[in-house]
Homo-oligomer: A and B are copies of this chain.
């Protein structure tokens, strides 16, 4: 696998979503057409797609279905991966019920919460007491985790995840997690993102 810059990687799901929304009778698509539709530069699009196994043809472009398959392959959508959620408040519960993860081959298998009143089932998926988290991660072989706890609990959860060998964390808690270099974290601080937007209005 070629080393892909994170900015290119972030655009791959955007191409994927766009290509999937096109009508079935669109067989081929050029990098220029993709670039125009997404308001991006053509060279950038071609560069990004070159990281995937997709190959375009001069004057024809990419076969749309092959390009979709190539991006999906690159993103690992075809290899099933299990993920767990920590924190079963409003956000955690919403994510547990969200169907969109399947498109990427990701199965959210369970949520954990310290509050036993929150334990039970949502969308057929279990919310389990936090004291069983280690065991649950081991049994499900989860390699991805989402932290949707309050900020005050997030670092403790991250430490537990690291000790269980989880190597990728999507963090909604508004704190910067301290993890070893072997673990990747992406921060999704919703309020901070809205604040960033609002600073454009000033």
Contacts and interface: CB of A to CB of B under 8 A. Distances in A.
Interface in A146-202: 146, 151, 167-170, 174-176, 178, 184, 186-202
Copies in the complex: 2
A79 to B, nearest CB: 8
Given A175-B17, A176-B38, A199-B76, A103 B194 contact: no
Contacts of A14: 176, 187, 192
Given A10-B196, A90-B93, A191 B104 contact: yes
Contacts of A167: 200-201
Contacts of A176: 14, 17-18, 38
Task: Give the interface size class of chain A.
Answer: 35 or more
A81 interface: yes
Contacts of A105: 195, 198
Nearest to A196: B9
Nearest to A1: B202
Given A184-B197, A198-B81, A191 B91 contact: no
Given A13-B189, A13-B191, 17 more contacts: A9-B196, A13-B174, A13-B192, A17-B174, A17-B175, A17-B189, A38-B176, A39-B178, A75-B198, A89-B94, A90-B94, A91-B95, A91-B98, A101-B194, A167-B200, A186-B197, A188-B193
